[in-house]
């Protein structure tokens, strides 16, 4: 299973390197969101600065939607969804492979967004350990849940509208948790952030486990 | 030895439409069978059902010893399906694609290499992205991915379509080789002449049913 | 109940039966009784006065909404385990009714809240969680309405349904935890009346009656879906016969 997962991850990342969709389209979209937030919230009034943690994670979530859609769209060119099933690869392996590939792309996007937030909003990071732990746990959760709901929506004509409707309510706890953790990291109440990281970690593990079982059946029915 | 394929009154649905409405089919290992029939008769669905892609909702269906009614998935590692779509990753090269599919089927790199050579893809085309190939060249790559997996059952839907005559000869040669080494081949084709020469017998499909078992 | 075989037969068969008619009448009578008790015979609360009366409708409806959601998840699990169509239909029917009840909860809350407290909405834990419940249910129902064959649709809905209740719980916990940080008395926090005997009785009566209403609605929705399924199966038999007849003449095509 892990062997199959690694095969999928390498294949997906290689496709990304060749096609550069994440680099050329998703990353600019993420930065665009930061800029739009600044337009909407007036950088001078201080609201932007206070809202930064939340805005950051909202931008991550919306970028994640694009990344997840892409991860399954690349399988559909010309009947490929059949191919993934026909390959004989273990579905749990395919799931883990996709999760890892999406998580990697998200991690890079988060670094980019983090840089953007520091440069554009004049934000300061806060406790680095908490920030990094939050990002790891949240990214794992987003990728795990996203891959599961992503395969469900993939291949459907209504996928672009169905995926957000299904996934965003499910990821609401991740948004709440990661934003609170970031807020705690910038303030002097750092230890209030760690319980939220715990919540994110539990979420990620739960979805990862369920995803390994649920992905197969969802991949089957076309 | 048990037959490669055994179907009795198999019914398969596409949505609510009964694409297969009671198929009977028995194929021994090593046979080469030609499926004939008008457009829309159900040939493609039959091949996909044998590949375990389309669920059989009633009747008997056993392929290579696997009961498709209870488990459609395990048989897939042992079959190769050449369909109408190429099933390739456009952004990857010919070499990447063939090796990926070979590794997925757990065959050796040397099999992937041999497939590339056999289909004439080991030269300058090897490192070209699939998106930049012509339709006929892509078809060759598809065939190569199938060959590299060394399947026990070959399912080919219009294998000669879109290929130049050199490639068609290559395909015929590969089919003969496969059959001689014990693999079973089922071909759906409109090309009476070529396909007839390869096949041991002909099965006609019409109205989702097969007439000659 | 006879299963109909043609469209015209379907039009003349309803989803009613003796049992549901009795239940229906009992429910209506119960609602009248509960309304009387809630609005007239039960006492005002010491602190809140008449405002407390909203609880008699709010609590039962939101409770049944969560129960319905739980039933959907249970039905999904049972369908995946036993492959039983009965459970599949139950999950679907329950989700629809639960969705209506959830929307009703929010609307009642807003309509009552505006004249009473001056605001349409507060970001209180329970209200926010209920809004999230509505969205999760809408997502489930969207999957139920997918264009696909019945087996695919059922399986996909079952997987989403299975996760529905856990998701509701996770969201509920996170939102509650979050809102508990920002203490301050939210409006609904003051909605903590001391429940005297007569108020408790009224509340129990209301709960029972709303539960009956829920069951009545789910039964009818269930039967409606059942009739549709039977009709589909019959049409499939016809389609198979037509398909085989193609062998002797031109007709529809397969991919």
Is A89 close to B104, i.e. CB distance below 8 A?
A: yes
SS3 B50: helix
Chain B residue with minimal CA distance to A84? B87
Instruction: Confirm if A89 and B149 have CB atoms less than 8 A apart.
Output: no
pLDDT digits (tens, 9 = 90+) for B22-72: 888 888 888 888 888 887 778 888 998 999 888 888 888 999 988 988 888
User: For testing the chain C interface, which of A191, A196, A221, A222 should be mutated: the one with the most C CBs within 10 Å?
Assistant: A221
Distance CA B2, CA C17 (A): 54
Q: Using CB atoms, which residue from B16, B21, B55 is nearest to C244?
A: B21
Going along chain C from its start, the domains and CATH numbers come out as 16-186+196-239 (1.20.120)
Q: Chain C contact for A177, CB < 8 A?
A: yes
The structure tokens listed for A221 are 């029915």
Q: What is the pLDDT of residues C142-156, one digit of tens each?
A: 999 887 777 788 888
**Cβ of C169 under 8 Å from any chain A Cβ?**
no
Instruction: Give the pLDDT confidence of A142-189 residue by residue, as tens digits.
Output: 999 999 999 988 877 777 889 999 999 999 999 999 999 998 888 878
Give the number of other Cβ atoms within 10 Å of residue B201's Cβ. 11
Query: What distance in Å separates residue C48's CA from the closest CA in chain A?
Result: 33
A158 to chain C: nearest residue by CA?
C146
Answer whether residue A4 shows pLDDT above 80: yes
Window 36-65 of B: residues touching C by CB (8 A cutoff) are 39-42, 44-45, 55
What is the pLDDT at residue C48? 64
Q: Is B191's pLDDT higher than 80?
A: no
C232–B16 CB contact, under 8 Å: yes
Q: B195 falls in which pLDDT band (50, 70, 90)?
A: low
- Option in B17, B55, B209 nearest C239 (CB): B17
Report the alpha-carbon distance of residue C49 to residue C117 in Å, rounded. 13
The residue written with tokens 């969201």 in the block is C171
Choose, out of A172, A198, A199, A215, the residue to mutate when testing the contact with C (most C CBs < 10 Å): A172
Q: What is the mean pLDDT of residues B121-138?
A: 88
Q: Is the pLDDT of residue C141 over 80?
A: yes
Pairing of strands B201-206, B184-188: unpaired
Residue C1, pLDDT > 60, answer no
Q: Taking CB atoms and an 8 Å limit, are B208 and C243 in contact across chains?
A: yes
- Of the candidates C70, C64, C75, C66, the one whose C-alpha atom is nearest the C-alpha of residue C27 is C64
**Which candidate, A107, A127, A94, A136, places its Cα nearest to that of A193?**
A127
**B84 contacts in chain A (CB < 8 Å):** 79
Residue in chain A lying closest to C164 (CA): A170
Residues 6+ away with beta carbon under 8 Å from C55: C191, C193, C203
Contacts of A128 (CB under 8 A, 6+ apart): none
- For residue C185, what pLDDT band results from cuts at 50, 70 and 90? very low
Q: What is the pLDDT of residue C7?
A: 55
For strand B17-27 and strand B153-157, is the pairing parallel, antiparallel, or unpaired?
unpaired
- At A222 the pLDDT is 54
pLDDT category at C5 given cuts 50, 70, 90 is low
Whether chain C has a CB inside 8 Å of the CB on B210: the answer is no
Average pLDDT over residues C222-243: 83
Q: pLDDT tens, A117-133?
A: 888 887 777 788 889 99
- In which element (H, E) is residue C246 found? none
Query: For the residues B182-189, what does the mean pLDDT come to?
Result: 88
Q: Cα distance from B79 to chain A (closest Cα, Å)? A: 8
The alpha helices in A80-158, defined as continuous H runs, are 80-86, 91-121, 128-153
pLDDT tens-digit map of B78-94: 899 998 888 888 889 99
The mean predicted confidence, pLDDT, of chain A is: 89
Range of the domain at B70: 5-210
The number of distinct structural domains making up chain B is: 1
Say which CATH number the domain at B52 has.
3.40.50.300
Among the partner-chain residues B85, B88, B92, the one whose CB lies closest to the CB of A14 is: B92
Question: pLDDT value at position C195?
Answer: 66
């Amino acid at each position: 299973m892990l062997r199959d997962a690694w095969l999928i991850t390498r294949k997906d990342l290689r496709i990304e390197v060749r096609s550069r969709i994440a680099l050329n389209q998703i990353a600019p979209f993420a930065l665009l969101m930061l800029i739009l937030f600044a337009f909407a919230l007036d950088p001078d009034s201080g609201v932007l600065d206070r809202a930064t943690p939340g805005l950051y994670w909202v931008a991550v979530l919306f970028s994640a939607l694009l990344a997840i859609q892409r991860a399954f769209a690349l399988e559909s060119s010309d009947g490929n969804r059949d191919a993934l099933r026909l390959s004989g690869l273990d579905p749990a392996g395919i799931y883990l492979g996709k999760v890892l590939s999406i998580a990697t792309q998200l991690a890079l996007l988060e670094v980019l967004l983090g840089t953007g937030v520091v440069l554009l909003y004049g934000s300061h990071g806060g406790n680095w350990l908490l920030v990094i732990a939050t990002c790891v746990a949240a990214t794992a959760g987003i990728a795990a849940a996203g891959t599961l709901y992503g395969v469900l929506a993939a291949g459907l004509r209504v996928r672009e509208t169905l995926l957000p409707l299904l996934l965003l309510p499910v990821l609401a706890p991740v948004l709440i948790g990661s934003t609170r953790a970031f807020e705690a990291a910038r303030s002097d109440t750092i230890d209030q952030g760690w319980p939220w990281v715990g919540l994110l970690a539990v979420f990620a593990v739960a979805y990862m486990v369920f995803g390994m079982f649920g992905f197969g059946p969802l991949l089957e029915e076309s | 030895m048990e037959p490669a394929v055994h179907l009795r009154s198999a019914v398969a649905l596409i949505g609510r439409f009964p694409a297969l409405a009671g198929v009977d089919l028995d194929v021994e290992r090593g046979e080469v069978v030609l499926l004939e029939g008008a457009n829309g008769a159900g040939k493609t669905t039959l091949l996909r059902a044998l590949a375990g892609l389309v669920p059989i909702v009633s009747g008997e269906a056993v392929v290579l010893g696997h009961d498709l009614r209870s488990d459609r998935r395990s048989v897939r590692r042992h079959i190769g399906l050449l369909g109408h779509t190429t099933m390739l990753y456009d952004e990857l090269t010919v070499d990447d694609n063939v090796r990926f599919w070979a590794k997925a089927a757990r065959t050796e790199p040397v099999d992937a290499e041999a497939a590339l050579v056999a289909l004439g893809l080991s030269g300058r085309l090897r490192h070209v992205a699939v998106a930049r190939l012509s339709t006929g060249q892509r078809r060759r790559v598809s065939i190569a991915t199938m060959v590299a997996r060394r399947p026990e059952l070959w399912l080919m839907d219009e294998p000669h379509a879109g290929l130049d005559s050199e490639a068609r000869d290559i395909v015929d040669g590969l089919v003969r080789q496969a059959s001689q080494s014990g693999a079973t081949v089922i071909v759906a084709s409109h090309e009476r002449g070529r396909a007839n020469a390869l096949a041991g017998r002909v099965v006609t499909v019409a109205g989702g049913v097969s007439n000659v078992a | 109940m006879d299963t109909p075989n043609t469209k015209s037969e379907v039009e003349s068969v309803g989803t009613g039966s003796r049992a549901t008619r009795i239940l229906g009448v009992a429910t209506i009578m119960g609602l009248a009784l509960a309304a009387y008790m809630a609005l007239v015979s039960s006492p005002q609360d010491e602190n809140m006065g008449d405002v407390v009366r909203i609880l008699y409708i709010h609590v039962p409806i939101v409770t049944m909404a969560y129960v319905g959601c739980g039933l959907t998840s249970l039905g999904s699990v049972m369908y995946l385990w036993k492959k039983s169509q009965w459970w599949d239909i139950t999950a679907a029917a329950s989700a629809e009714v639960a969705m209506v009840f959830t929307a009703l909860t929010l609307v009642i809350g807003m309509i009552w809240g505006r004249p009473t407290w001056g605001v349409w909405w507060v970001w209180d834990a329970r209200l926010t969680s209920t809004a999230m419940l509505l969205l999760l249910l809408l997502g489930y129902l969207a999957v139920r309405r997918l264009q696909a064959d019945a087996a695919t649709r059922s399986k996909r809905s079952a997987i989403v349904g299975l996760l529905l209740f856990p998701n509701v719980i996770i969201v509920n916990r996170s939102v509650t935890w979050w809102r508990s940080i920002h203490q301050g008395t939210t409006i609904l926090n003051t909605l903590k009346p001391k429940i005297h005997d007569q108020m408790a009785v009224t509340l129990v009566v209301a709960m029972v009656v709303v539960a009956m209403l829920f069951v009545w609605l789910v039964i009818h929705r269930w039967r409606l879906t059942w009739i549709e399924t039977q009709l589909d199966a019959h049409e499939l038999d016809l389609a198979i016969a037509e398909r085989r007849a193609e062998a002797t003449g031109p007709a529809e095509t397969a991919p």
